[in-house]
Amino acid sequence: MERVSALRGVLPLLLFIRITFGVGLSAAEAPREVFLLPYEGLINPVSSELILTGIRRAGHARAEALIIQLDTPGGLDTSMRETVQGIIGSPVPVVVYIAPGGARAASAGVFITIAAHLAAMAPGTNIGAAHPVLLQGGEMDKEMKTKVENDAAAYIRSLAERRGRNVKWTEEAVRKSVSATEREAKTLGLIDFISPDLPTLLQQIDGRQVITSEGPVTLHTVGAAVKPIPMGFRLKVLRIISDPNVAYVLMLLGIYGLIFELSTPGSVLPGLVGAISLILAFYAFQTLPINYAGLLLILLSLALLLAEVKLQSFGLLGVGGIVAFLLGSLMLFPGEFPMLRVSLGVILPSVLLTAVFFLAIVGAAWKAQRRKPVTGAEALQGQIGIAKSNLDPEGQILVRGEIWEAEGFEAIHAGEKVRVLEIQGLKARVERVRD
């Protein structure tokens, strides 16, 4: 009995030791993960949502780090600031890796790189040219330019000071649009590593200590499993829609669909497709630097083309509509970045198809106006009929299966052929047909 009592007293202690050391062993044996998020393109709402989602997923998984493989020419200021705020508030170390060779981190990409806990560049890459510009094109007035520059310079200085990077160079990147290669960036203290590939980067950052939103963290990345974060279906669709060429085509489909629905009420399908296309186009316009003068020119061109169908201005309104359509398409998405403009390979076929479409409508309307009537009293003019009774001068005739009261200019006997000259009220005026 004493032995049993002793065992009962020891068992809870043994169980506690087992649970404690068992949990510790499991934690030590848990595989380490590094999340990889590749992104190429403009910094816009799609990119900011993708990066913020990656930060949350890495935080929930308690990953060793999140590596953002970046290649961007820049983008929207609001999306850049959302991304930077997400990086600063990340509980997981964020590493920005400018790769592969030939990639760049320009404009908004500089801010994101400087804000990262660690930064690396692949050989053959560059960083810089962060001077703020109007994506809509044109020039800011002097006072506004000074305000925007000062704001951007102060922002990037604060990020550089927070991460211990070269404050002077980052400010010059904003004010003077300076750029640097990967070697110059390493020498200037803008990045931490030059990494030819991802395995090398994982070795370089192993053992480094960084300060996250939850305090100091030491990275253990050697041997860690790399887990890519794919872009979800929703973000893929939004990214495709945000392309200027796609947004342009969606806008045209929306306008044509609504015009067809209004011209033939009850079709349903054209109106439905047009409404959906316009809504998607408006979403894309929020992420693109749209010029509203170009949009108004496109709407004006469609109004002129529709007026040509109704008014028959001998092509004058139609030509004006085509010219306005072309100019509006060229002006719709201005800016310094080619990827923010509609390709001529999309504009020219669209203009040509629009011109052909409306010219076909105009031609059909013109032919319809010149075509001889086939119904009504006007359709009887010139028709050949037969006298049902003697016309001396009045009587009845049979024409096109109908019996009409008729009046002749001369005496016409029943059974003779007559030609209808005109219709006056409910009486036809006819003449004898001589063989």
Catalytic-labelled residue, pool 47, 48, 90, 107: 107
Torsion angle (degrees, nearest 10) of CA 207, 210, 213, 219? -10
Q: Per-residue DSSP letters for 298-362? A: HHHHHHHHHHHHHH--TTHHHHHHHHHHHHHHHHSS-SS-GGGS--HHHHHHHHHHHHHHHHHHH
The whole-angstrom separation of Cα 430 and Cα 433 is: 9
Q: Which neighbouring-strand residues pair with 179?
A: 128
| Token pair listed for 295 | 């949009």
Closest CA to 324 of 299, 352, 353, 360: 299
Rg (CA), the chain: 38
CB 219 within 8 A of CB 213: no
Distances (CA, A) of 154 to 8, 148, 394: 68, 10, 101
The whole-angstrom separation of Cα 295 and Cα 281 is: 12
Is residue 372 part of the annotated active site? The answer reads no
Kindly report the backbone phi and psi dihedral angles of residue 256, in degrees, each rounded to the nearest multiple of 5, phi listed first: -65, -40
* Mode of pairing for the β-strands spanning 402-408 and 394-399: antiparallel
Catalytic-labelled residue, pool 147, 168, 176, 236: 147
Is residue 236 part of the annotated active site? The answer reads no
Which residues carry out catalysis? 107, 147
